[in-house]
Structure 1
């Protein structure tokens, strides 16, 4: 029967070519549908690699669609991502590409990312870094972020960087006592920083970053924006460098 001989080709077409060329099973009789179903099963059992091929194609399409959607999110929030007026800026402030990091001091992967980001910035030399305080792992995370942001308001960007680095290395439980010890060890005015932690300015920064992360559909840390690309999770320096090179190449 023609249907029997056509089944493998029709199946491959329906699995790989996509819905535009899918079979119209409604046009078949009950007997034809039953026979086609049997032939499909037989074909798949004899050629299971077809299923893997179809899954791979579907994953590639989904990844491409997600990447395109992420680029749209970056484009729609470019000012708040790269030039919000309050986030700490490091690396090369005049770099031709910007790396934005959404981070949480209690996040183990954020700590793992520290040397990788440092290696990327040093090796490339032309990347601007923007740190976004995004505390999502409970009250201890919020307390740490408030302390870091307050240090920036009270003592400036250099003090923020010192506190930021110290908090990423700190393995204890943050509290007013431990945070005072950190600021004292750095030679900072602990009373002024502690007093500023609950200020409207500190609250506003963290609230704005949370709202930005929500718009960017970011729910975990670390999350990065590198040029036009979203990087959802930890990546080693060499992979981030490849992405940076690709962003530059796309600019022509």
Structure 2
């Protein structure tokens, strides 16, 4: 907070100088005497003590400008990486494939907020009906996360999109150990060929998908999950269904 106030006070000092009795054209800050400097500081201090809301107003303006700058920077990142975000053949696409708005999620199966967001996204897609949804496997929470993503991606490569979505949904509520033994049991329960899927988990093809997603996440400056891209906006962190719907509506009116 102190670092933020320094430029604010500096700006306040400059503005107050021009409010003093002598003409602005006659004021030379570099040539002020120590006595004048002390008087100026006293005036500034007295003004801020009498009007502390000025500081908060200045902080609010600064935060708004920083937020606008971050939003523009995120929008630029989306544009530069649009092909990898929206047209990657190695990522599962659901929702309405012909929807007027695309939502991309970077997720990790061991992320508690990703699991929380799962029902919100499901509700959003059902309620809106015009959102194209893309899942980016983005394991960042350790070895079990990596194994779970390998299992899901291997399922898609071996058994196709429908099987992938079945496995993805199951893993979002899976409470067992995330290892080959657990995945074999899960695949058997879902009626999938566990032997083929587990054998594919450590393939170069699976490794390349994860590596590409990690590289994309790094370019997008993603450091946590869930992270979303909706239209040309980055949504960093968990958002409930109603908040995502509100953002979708705003994007459509732009």
Give the TM-score, by structure 2 length.
Answer: 0.88
1:55-66 matches, cutoff 5 A: 55-66=59-70
Structure 1 residues 35, 204: closer, same or farther in 2, change over 3 A?
Answer: same
CA contact (8 A) 1:92 1:129 kept: yes
> Cα deviations across residues 162-218 of structure 1 (Å, max 9, x unaligned)?
110111101232111111111111011111111100111100000000000000001
**Matched position secondary structure for 1:181:** helix
CA–CA distance in 1 between the matches of 2:221 and 2:197?
32
CA–CA distance in 1 between the matches of 2:152 and 2:205?
13
> Cα deviations across residues 15-43 of structure 1 (Å, max 9, x unaligned)?
xxxxxxxx974353322222211221222
Alignment correspondent of 2:133? 129
Structure 1 residues 237, 198: closer, same or farther in 2, change over 3 A?
Answer: same
CA contact (8 A) 1:74 1:229 kept: yes
1:25-44 matches, cutoff 5 A: 25-44=29-48
CA contact (8 A) 1:11 1:40 kept: no
1:114 to 118, 132, 136: 118
CA–CA distance in 2 between the matches of 1:13 and 1:96?
54
CA–CA distance in 2 between the matches of 1:243 and 1:30?
54
CA–CA distance in 2 between the matches of 1:13 and 1:209?
54
Alignment correspondent of 1:100? 104
CA–CA distance in 2 between the matches of 1:24 and 1:130?
60
CA–CA distance in 2 between the matches of 1:38 and 1:140?
61
Query: What residue ranges of structure 2 are gaps of 5+ in the alignment?
Result: 1-10, 19-26
Structure 1 residues 12, 140: closer, same or farther in 2, change over 3 A?
Answer: farther
Q: How many residues align?
A: 236
Alignment correspondent of 2:193? 189
Alignment correspondent of 1:141? 145
1:60-75 matches, cutoff 5 A: 60-75=64-79
Structure 1 residues 62, 192: closer, same or farther in 2, change over 3 A?
Answer: same
CA contact (8 A) 2:16 2:44 kept: no
> Cα deviations across residues 192-251 of structure 1 (Å, max 9, x unaligned)?
11110011110000000000000000111000000111100111111111211122111x
Give the TM-score, by structure 1 length.
Answer: 0.89
Stretch moving more, 234-243 or 91-100: 234-243
CA–CA distance in 2 between the matches of 1:27 and 1:213?
53
CA contact (8 A) 2:17 2:40 kept: no
Structure 1 residues 171, 11: closer, same or farther in 2, change over 3 A?
Answer: farther
Displacement, 1:115?
1.0
Q: Say what the alpha-carbon RMSD is for the aligned residues.
A: 2.0
